[in-house]
Amino acid sequence: MLRSVNRPRLSALAWTSAALALLIHCVALVHALRTYGPWMLDLRTAASLLGWTLGMLACVVGAERRNRVLATILLLSAGAGAVFTGGEPNFAATQPPSWELTAHVLLSMGAAALLFAAAATAVLLLVLDRRLRDRRIADLPNSLPPVDQLEAVLFRLIGAGFALLTLALFTGFVFVTNLFAQHLIHKTVLSVIAWVLFGVLLIGRVRFGWRGRQAVRWTLFGFALLVLSYFGSKFVLETVLGRHWG
């Protein structure tokens, strides 16, 4: 995928490989969910589902050739998530999932994937900014798009991720009950703080033209809170305390 930026004849091989990997990942993930119960999202299965979502997003992002560096990063992340596919979960299903819970999970994973891509874009912007400040223009990879175009991609990803995160939080507040009993209060508070940060960043972009390092810092901090709210809380509950949500 990365080489196809400067060698278009490799595009067919790149897309075929990506599609085959995503198909196999999907089959393995569905098999695991059917074997151990629908939406038995322990920490490993959640990482696998997020990885598959990142792979799908990589195909959308990589449709434009100059964004294939970002698509490559997302595909590598998808491969890392695929490693966790399969294996018996740490807990058993207590009841079949409702469509409301299914919608909440899918919206949450979609938001996480989009904001993960935004964080990866922010890191690329940080690398480009440092090289430009050090006047190392000759060292800039020609496979990367211009800074302005990369910033536009960043805010498109943040905008889409913010919209899905808003829907995910809304469905969580409406359909998920007993937040304290299910050990969800810490996850909820951190997710809301991350939502506020991304919202302020988008308003700052529209009203005050925020960009550059300021936008990168807000993006990375907001994404770090989001990761801590879900995977951090889930790790502590399942690994340290031996509990789970639901």
pLDDT per residue as tens digits for the range 158-169: 999 999 999 999
pLDDT per residue as tens digits for the range 178-227: 655 565 677 888 999 999 999 999 999 999 888 888 899 999 999 999 99
DSSP labels for 190-204?
HHHHHHHHHHHHHHH
How much is the pLDDT for 24? 96
User: What is the C-alpha R_g of the chain?
Assistant: 19
How much is the pLDDT for 205? 93
In this structure, what are the phi and psi dihedrals at residue 17, rounded to the nearest 5 degrees? -65, -45
**In whole angstroms, what is the distance from residue 117 CA to residue 104 CA?**
20
DSSP letter for 67, please: G
Domain range list for the chain: 1-89, 97-246
Q: Do residues 222 and 201 make contact, with C-beta atoms less than 8 angstroms apart?
A: yes
Coil, strand or helix: which one is 87? coil
Low-confidence ranges of the chain (pLDDT < 50): 138, 246
How much is the pLDDT for 213? 87
How much is the pLDDT for 51? 95
> Which residue in this structure is represented by tokens 């939080």?
169
Global pTM value: 0.88
